[in-house]
Amino acid sequence: MNITFSNLTPLSSIVFGILILVFPKFLNYLIAGYLILTGIIALGILR
DSSP summary character for residue 25:
G
What confidence score (pLDDT) does residue 31 get? 82
Q: Which of 32, 40, 38 is nearest to 6 (CA)?
A: 38
What confidence score (pLDDT) does residue 1 get? 58
What confidence score (pLDDT) does residue 18 get? 87
What confidence score (pLDDT) does residue 34 get? 82
What confidence score (pLDDT) does residue 14 get? 84
What confidence score (pLDDT) does residue 26 get? 80
Neighbours of 18 (CB within 10 A): 10
Local confidence pLDDT in tens for the 47 residues of the chain: 566 666 777 888 888 788 888 888 888 887 888 888 888 888 888 66
Q: Are 30 and 16 in contact (CB under 8 A)?
A: yes
